[in-house]
């Protein structure tokens, strides 16, 4: 029971301290925002007034005892959306830093703290600019590499397409030549043997020759379709139907020959 009372007592004592720290945090955020606005948009920039503004903030001790780098970085990042504003901020920060550096002799504790804060802010702004320039440079290199890779892939695809078209044209030409030669051979065979064998045997031989010629031509056509990525169900159906007709016709002729 005593432990619980002690904890409650500690919590009550901590509440005012937490509230006080929260107020100091808000004051620090407000200070960073006002300072960065002055550095980015102060035209003409008055380094003396800005120095006194920082010094008064330190002496009044309304804020935290350290710089809120997260808030400072957020404000710089917001300003950097405009190249002109970030350049003005960097130049004004340099002017303020040089002004503070010249005062670094026989100074008070507040002046020393003020100069330290200005030095840290000046250094942080320059560090941010360097890092952003490096990131932009890396982004440009990556963009260039991606563009180069895309172009190379496009050239490769075009070359592959041209080669595919060449193969297709040659295949079609070969199919027509083979069909023409096959037809001539087929007709010559019929005319030469028409008086030597029976009519049914002649029909059976013709059927076998026609079967091989048809399947050879179809195989070439199928290869052409496959090279070009074409799928034709009607072609396969017609192939099967015609083959069935040829086979059935051949079987009937064979039975009649026997």
Give the model confidence (pLDDT) of 213-245 as tens digits: 788 778 777 877 777 777 778 878 888 888 888
Q: pLDDT grade, residue 180 (50/70/90)?
A: low
Predicted local distance difference test score (pLDDT) of residue 190: 61
pLDDT digits (tens, 9 = 90+) for 95-131: 888 888 877 666 777 778 888 888 888 888 888 888 8
Predicted local distance difference test score (pLDDT) of residue 17: 43
Of 15 and 180, the one with more pLDDT: 180
Structure tokens at 155: 């050239």
Mean pLDDT within 236-256: 84
Mean pLDDT within 58-81: 78
Which residues have CB under 8 Å from 171's CB, separation 6+? 220, 223, 224, 227
Which residues have CB under 8 Å from 113's CB, separation 6+? 58
Q: pLDDT grade, residue 18 (50/70/90)?
A: very low
Peptide bond into 44 cis (omega under 30): yes
| Concatenated DSSP letters of 141-176 | HHHHHHHHHHHHHHHHHHHHHHHHHHHHHHHHHHHH
Helix crossing, 109-193 with 47-60: angle to 10°?
Answer: 110
Q: pLDDT grade, residue 148 (50/70/90)?
A: confident
Q: d(Cα 36, Cα 32) in Å, to the nearest integer?
A: 6
pLDDT digits (tens, 9 = 90+) for 30-58: 888 888 888 887 668 888 888 888 888 88
Has residue 10 got a pLDDT over 60?
A: no
Which residues have CB under 8 Å from 88's CB, separation 6+? 39, 40, 41, 43, 45
Rg (CA), the chain: 45
Mean pLDDT of the chain, nearest integer: 75
Has residue 166 got a pLDDT over 60?
A: yes
118 class by beta-carbon count within 10 Å (0-12 exposed, 13-18 middle, 19+ buried): buried
């Amino acid at each position: 029971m005593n432990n619980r009372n002690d904890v409650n007592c500690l919590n009550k004592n901590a509440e005012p301290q937490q509230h006080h720290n929260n107020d100091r945090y808000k004051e620090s955020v407000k200070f960073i925002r006002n300072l960065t606005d002055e550095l980015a948009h102060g035209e003409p920039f008055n380094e003396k007034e800005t120095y006194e503004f920082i010094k008064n903030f330190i002496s009044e001790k309304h804020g935290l005892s350290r710089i809120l780098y997260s808030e400072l970085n957020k404000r710089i990042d917001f300003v950097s959306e405009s190249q002109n504003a970030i350049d003005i901020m960097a130049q004004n920060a340099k002017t303020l830093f040089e002004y503070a550096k010249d005062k670094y002799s026989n100074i008070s504790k507040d002046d020393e703290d003020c100069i330290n804060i200005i030095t840290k802010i000046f250094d942080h702004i320059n560090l941010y600019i360097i890092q952003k320039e490096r990131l932009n440079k890396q982004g440009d290199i990556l963009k260039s590499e991606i563009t180069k890779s895309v172009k190379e892939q496009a050239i490769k695809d075009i070359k592959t397409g041209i080669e595919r078209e060449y193969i297709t044209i040659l295949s079609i030409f070969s199919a027509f030549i083979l069909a023409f030669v096959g037809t001539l051979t087929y007709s010559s065979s019929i005319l030469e043997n028409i008086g030597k064998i029976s009519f049914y045997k002649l029909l059976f031989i013709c059927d076998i020759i026609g079967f091989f010629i048809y399947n050879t031509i179809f195989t070439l056509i199928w290869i052409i379709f496959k090279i070009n990525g074409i799928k034709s169900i009607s072609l396969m159906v017609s192939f099967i139907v015609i083959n069935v007709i040829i086979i059935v016709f051949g079987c009937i002729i064979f039975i009649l020959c026997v």
